[in-house]
């Protein structure tokens, strides 16, 4: 039986603990595909789980990590065989099913996507849930007929993982991108990814008015709360906001005015339970439309042992772009 390292979160009457441990394959959860995990990543939700800031973990004990990439070791699923390069985003990974912060995983084959040939495992995790979510947001804008000719598009939380990938994707597709960030020092970084304008997030943080001056044809929002409400109030007639995050809060203190007076659409984007067809489409589009040089520019690589130290940094908005974790 193969032994492997895993970051295991446990809960007792005395409280919760989280530490690297050695486990065996018999310790893994149910599934029809076993994967040797080579890389994972850290997303905002991972930061919440590791820091115990929100009830992300809903089953104990748990191996955190909502993403993984690696190669199939064994499979009884018709779609996969030993040696296949695969990735997994969401489906309760790291919440109700042992996640990506381990060198081995046993999962349901229906959750897996074959890693596109354009990407290595490390590149797939440089994209991770954040980048895959960004692509789902871009697809949502396209479905609602937001085109480059429609006008500029806003990206909030721009220096984070979702925002960084969204900017790179939208810029390559020909959109003019306005990047909203609270880190003025990241302006050059954001323009390097393709942003044509960088604004201070304070412009979107105040108390929302029912309607403001029309500024953008669409938006990708990972912040929520006042930021989302203000973005909606500033959409051009017929514009669409793809909402995918809550870094600024879960509330939406706005009004119906943008919807009934400007025909604005609020498109909710969920990456965790998205059906497989949507996942395959998103990853195929990432392989086609994401500039790998820009992906490299937004990515740093760290050993998985650094995950705990990274959690408070990502929650505080101090992590730029994407972080790849090597399981080693």
Q: Residue 13: its pLDDT value, please?
A: 85
Q: Residue 16: its pLDDT value, please?
A: 87
Fold (topology level) of 129-268:
Rossmann fold (3.40.50)
Give the CATH number of domain 3-115+298-326. 3.90.180.10
Q: Residue 15: its pLDDT value, please?
A: 83
Q: Residue 1: its pLDDT value, please?
A: 64
Averages of pLDDT over runs of 10 residues in the chain (328 residues) are: 93 90 97 98 96 91 98 98 98 98 98 98 98 98 98 98 98 98 97 98 97 98 98 98 96 98 98 97 98 98 98 95 96
Q: Residue 78: how many CB atoms within 10 A of its CB? A: 8
Place of tokens 């995918």: 244
Q: Residue 302: its pLDDT value, please?
A: 98
> In the chain, where are the structural domains located?
3-115+298-326, 129-268
């Amino acid at each position: 039986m193969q032994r492997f390292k895993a970051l295991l979160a446990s809960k007792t009457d005395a409280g919760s603990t989280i530490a690297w441990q050695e486990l065996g394959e018999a310790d893994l959860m149910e599934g029809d595909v076993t994967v040797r995990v080579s890389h994972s990543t850290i997303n905002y939700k991972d930061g919440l789980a590791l820091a115990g800031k929100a009830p992300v973990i809903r089953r104990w004990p748990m191996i955190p990590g909502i993403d993984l990439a690696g190669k199939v070791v064994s499979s009884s699923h018709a779609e996969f065989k030993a040696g296949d390069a695969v990735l997994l985003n969401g489906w309760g990974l790291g919440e109700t099913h042992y996640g990506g912060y381990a060198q081995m995983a046993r999962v349901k084959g229906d959750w897996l996507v074959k890693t596109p040939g354009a990407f290595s495992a490390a590149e797939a995790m440089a994209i991770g849930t954040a980048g895959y979510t960004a692509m789902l947001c871009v697809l949502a804008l396209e479905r609602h007929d937001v085109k480059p000719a429609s006008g500029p598009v806003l990206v909030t939380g721009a220096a984070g993982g979702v925002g960084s990938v969204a900017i790179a994707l939208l810029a390559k597709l020909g959109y003019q991108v306005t990047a909203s960030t609270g880190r003025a020092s990241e302006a050059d970084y954001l323009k390097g990814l393709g942003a044509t304008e960088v604004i201070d997030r304070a412009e979107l943080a105040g108390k929302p008015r029912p309607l403001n001056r029309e500024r953008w044809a669409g938006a990708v929002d990972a912040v929520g709360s006042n930021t989302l409400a203000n973005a909606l109030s500033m959409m051009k007639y017929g514009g669409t906001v793809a909402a995918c995050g809550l870094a600024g809060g879960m509330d939406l203190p706005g009004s119906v005015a943008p919807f009934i007076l400007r025909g604005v659409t609020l498109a909710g984007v969920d990456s965790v339970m998205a059906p497989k067809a949507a996942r395959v489409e998103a990853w195929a589009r990432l392989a086609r439309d994401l500039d790998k040089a820009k992906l490299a520019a937004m990515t740093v690589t760290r050993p998985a042992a650094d995950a705990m130290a990274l959690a408070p940094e990502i929650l505080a908005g101090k992590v730029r772009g994407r972080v790849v974790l090597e399981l080693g």
